[in-house]
Amino acid sequence: MTTRRSFIRNSILLALVAPLSNAFTVLPKRKLSAFGIQLYMVKEDMEKDPLGTLKKLGQMGYTYIESYGGPKGVFWGMENKQFKQTAAGLGLNLVSTHYNEDDLPFEKLAEQSAEIGMKYLICPWKGPQKSIDDFKRIADDFNRHGEICKRHGLRYAYHPHDYPYKKVDGQLPIDVLLQHTDKGLVDFQMDFYYTASEGFSPEAYLTRYKNRFRLCHMRDVLKKPLPKGSKDESACDLGQGRLNYPHLLTVAMNNGVDYFFVEQSRFYNETPMQSAAINAAYLKRIQLT
């Protein structure tokens, strides 16, 4: 028979043991559930054999893609629906595209992209400017493009290279662009390489401007930079450089980044497709902090 005294004693023991058992519980590590690739990375392969290249990318583990304004257009010489269906049949979701301003009229591109369920149109380049006021005018232009995208059910974004991280008139253009664009209309796609190689912390920008960077490009930064004036960037495959990707991706996920694209620019003793496979394998095994 359980006495009142034994009941109390057992209750106390359970209360003491429970926290200890919780302390030894191993929580499952988070992983990056899905990742994509910017097709510019494998542009030569895409131009020769788009279907074969997409098939191989799907087999590597990529689940979504980002196109760009190449010689055949963002839909690779196909109708928008045809390209979307072709990619989907190979396990790849066409999420976004970089575009060239001299491609289709922007309104038309927005219409075609929205028709097939794409999420983003992204400006990849504006180039260095002479004054900070030039960047403010660019911000106004981004807002106008964002309004067009919003009308069609899309989002608009800008992909900064290195130049927005270089001061102009005593100010950082990247800060000016973030502060002068309407967050309801314009998102940003951080290229981790450019932010880090220009001496800034990607984690700090992601945290400071939470939910403004909704997409990213991933590559690593060589621990020992190439000599100044080298034709190649000091980039390398993920996990081979100085960026702490388990921590960086965790911060990115916690601060609003939804889409993660591999885009390598330097291929050392490897082809672009071999690099794509190496990066996919790294992302499949990485454990986030």
- What is the residue extent of each domain of the chain? 53-285
pTM: predicted TM-score of the whole model, two decimal places: 0.90
Instruction: Report the distance separating Cα 120 and Cα 102, nearest Å.
Output: 18
According to CATH, what is the number of the domain 53-285? 3.20.20.150
Instruction: Report the distance separating Cα 280 and Cα 35, nearest Å.
Output: 8
Question: Which stretches within the chain are classed as H helix?
Answer: 4-23, 43-48, 50-60, 80-89, 106-115, 132-151, 173-180, 192-197, 202-208, 245-254, 272-285
The number of CA neighbours under 13 Å toward the Cβ of 185 is: 17
Q: What is the residue-level pLDDT of the chain in tens, covering all 289 positions?
A: 455 455 445 544 444 444 544 444 444 578 999 999 999 999 999 999 999 999 999 999 999 999 999 999 999 999 999 999 999 999 999 999 999 988 789 999 999 999 999 999 999 999 999 999 999 999 999 999 999 999 999 999 999 999 999 999 999 999 999 999 999 999 999 999 999 999 999 999 999 999 999 999 999 999 999 998 899 999 999 999 999 999 999 999 999 999 999 999 999 999 999 999 999 999 999 999 8
Return the residue matching tokens 């002068």: 180
